[in-house]
A and B are shown apart, each in its own frame.
Chain A
């Protein structure tokens, strides 16, 4: 998806340079998910054991891995959006800023904003589900409520539909403008 969003961003700006390349962003995304996996599967979202206890190391690992993952997310998002947000010009254009005024680049710009910023929902859902189960009075590690799990399914499903199916539909719909 990072490659697609870079492509759409380039289409909107006419090829303005990003902070770092799409390959770097894709690699950073692997790191971001890996740190998220450490938070979820190694530190168990800072949930307690079967007795409801958790230690300092677990808390430190959970908070560190989540924070690192979130900062990588911010970096990737900024790398995708920065040329659009700052109205950066393509390398061949000598002007300092280039406002996006044409119809198709404007649509691409809006799409990049929507499909990139919707990713913010994933850490929000993760933290919200933690508030329902992990930080509750009964902080046992296995105490995942069915309602919490159900709402997680709905929330992640909605985010996946918007970010993946939405982006795919936009990519297909966009082809009509280039016939």
Chain B
């Protein structure tokens, strides 16, 4: 039995082909690093969890809206209308959470995304790739036509320079604020 805890999900850029172990043959490990941003948990996993919740809420919200419209019973109609409203508001919030988890925010927020520089540009991954996502995110080499990244630490009073952790912390704050906003309204 494979222990999930002991699996090493980090990309080894030196490895050119899968060698047969489960952790080497998962879909996300076969992708090249520049289209596969993650450190411990793959982005595709994180976004798919939120996507499932979004779709469940959307489906039941649409169902309730339709029942509300077609029901002749006032009590049933009122309950379904409330449920539909609650689900649509939750869907809106989950849609933004989905964008954050998929690292697919609009350009104005792209500096918060993994695989981007502080100015929001895509971190280029050339032949000399760093070995892990963390070191990839701190890479400072840039092509001439891209502005060099700002090198100030992203965590106040911190000099550890762990950019991936800082970005995930910022994303976690954003997701939690969306959750509280959803709970406040619904």
Contact = CB atoms under 8 A, between A and B. Distances in A.
Interface of A: 1, 3-4, 7-8, 11, 30, 33-34, 36-37, 40-41, 49-51, 122, 140, 142-147, 149-150, 153-154, 156-157, 160-161, 164-169, 171-172, 174-175, 178
A123 to B, nearest CB: 12
Interface in B47-91: 49-50, 52-53, 56-57, 59-61, 63-64, 66-67, 71, 73, 75-76, 78-80, 82-84, 86-87, 90
Contact of B53 (A1, A140, A146, A160): A160
Contact of A175 (B76, B90, B165): B76
A169 B60 contact: yes
A49 B50 CA distance: 29
B146 interface: no
A50 B84 contact: no
Given A146-B39, A175-B71, A175-B73, A33 B60 contact: no
Contacts of B90: 160, 164
B141 interface: no
Contacts of A174: 76, 79
B82 A150 contact: no
Contacts of B156: 49-50
A1 B63 contact: no
Interface stretch (B15-23, B24-32, B121-129, B168-176): B168-176
Interface in B133-181: 155-158, 165-166, 168-169, 172-173, 175-177, 179-180
Contacts of B83: 4, 164, 167-168, 171-172
Nearest to A150: B41
Interface SS of chain B? helix
Given A8-B79, A153-B101, A175-B80, A165 B41 contact: no
A51 B157 contact: yes
Interface residues of B, number: 51
B155 A153 contact: no
B76 A178 contact: yes
A30 B67 CA distance: 28
B45 interface: yes
A1 B63 CA distance: 17
A156 B86 contact: no
9 contacts: A7-B78, A49-B156, A143-B165, A160-B57, A164-B83, A164-B86, A168-B57, A168-B60, A174-B79
B183 A33 contact: yes
A34 B180 CA distance: 8
